[in-house]
Amino acid sequence: METINTTAGSNNAQPTNPKYICSTKVNKVLYASFVVLGIYFLIKGDAMSAASNVGVALVFDPFDQTVMWKNRPLYQRALLFVQVSIVLSLFVYGIVYPTGGK
């Protein structure tokens, strides 16, 4: 069971479990790996593979997952919204041009 330090009225609980800290580091590596793989597929002209890899990267949230959405800094929320927009755009592009636009 995970131990969480909280202060009265705080929405930003910080876990003290070392497994969580390791998990955050692993999430950042996996997030970056899937984004790089998505960029590789985009360069190769495969929009659907790029969309799926960049979309899977969203599963590995690179930011502090204990912070509630409304309490996250604007740049974090903006980055995640932009990434979802890119995934949806690539998905639509992949449907409209199934051969990668060639």
Instruction: Tell me the C-alpha distance between 74 and 64, whole Å.
Output: 14
pLDDT at 65: 80
Does residue 6 sit within a domain? no
Higher pLDDT pick, 95 / 12: 95
Does residue 61 sit within a domain? yes
Does residue 47 sit within a domain? yes
Does residue 10 sit within a domain? no
The model's pLDDT over 68-81, given as tens digits with 9 standing for 90+, comes to 889 999 999 999 99
The model's pLDDT over 16-55, given as tens digits with 9 standing for 90+, comes to 555 555 677 888 999 999 999 999 999 998 999 999 999 9
Does residue 30 sit within a domain? yes
At 97, the amino acid letter reads Y
Q: Which range marks the domain in which residue 43 is found?
A: 16-96
Does residue 89 sit within a domain? yes
Give me the number of domains the chain comprises.
1
Taking Cα atoms as reference points, which of 78, 79, 27 lies closest to residue 56? 27
Taking Cα atoms as reference points, which of 43, 39, 24, 40 lies closest to residue 86? 39
- Given a cut of 90, whether residue 89 has pLDDT beyond it is yes
